[in-house]
Amino acid sequence: MNLSAKILGLCFLAIIASDVCAAPIVAQPEIVGAASVIDGDTIEIHGQRIRLHGIDAPESSQECLSSNRTPWRCGQRAALVLAERLANGSIRCHPLDRDRYGRIIATCLKGSEDISRWMVANGWAVAFRRFSLDYAEDEERARRARRGLWEGTFEMPWDWRARRRER
């Protein structure tokens, strides 16, 4: 076998390997059903915990400051807003991965609406840029319009959690 045939063979194997590696980490069918809200970025369908892809919402006990510097339970509010949005509807989730806590990470839709995009666009969650840039533009528009969390000031959820762990 000449050198060019060997190189061609190696290239072919590399292409096949890249297709295998590109397969989703979680080979699981979509999850469909009524959702219970755990917090502003986590839902449960049929007993399966699902972390919404690409976003991070304040924790349930996290407080933010309104524009007049009044503290309010923004994490609790984010969860309530999500629950209102998902009420009376079937949710369809497309699993992408699992997080370190074993939760399914998924893109979830109510009808044709991307729930993560809706949460970020309305200011109740932020784009989790560490894992995805999918919702960064939605976050910027919500920030400029001072929607939801952006009406006042708040600590990014990942910073808030890190500070709590340090205690």
Q: Give the span between the Cα atoms of 165 and 145, in whole angstroms.
A: 32
pLDDT, tens digit (0-9, with 9 covering 90-100), for 59-86: 999 999 999 999 999 999 999 999 999 9
Number of domains observed in the structure of the chain: 1
What's the rounded Cα separation, in Å, for the pair 126 and 24? 24
Q: How far apart are CA 25 and CA 3, in angstroms?
A: 35
Residue 96: name the closest of 57, 51, 34 by CA. 51
**Model confidence at 95: pLDDT above 50:** yes
pLDDT, tens digit, for every residue of 42-61? 999 999 999 999 999 999 99
In this predicted model, what pLDDT tens digit does every residue of 130-143 receive, in sequence order?
A: 999 999 999 999 99
CATH of the domain at 103: 2.40.50.90
Among the residue ranges 14-23, 95-104, 107-116, the one predicted with the least confidence is: 14-23
Distance CA 75, CA 81 (A): 10
pLDDT of 3 strictly over 60: no
Signed CA dihedral, 61, 136, 45, 26: sign only: negative
What CA–CA distance (Å, rounded) separates 102 from 120? 24
Q: Which domain holds residue 135?
A: 3-166
Q: What is the pTM of this model?
A: 0.82
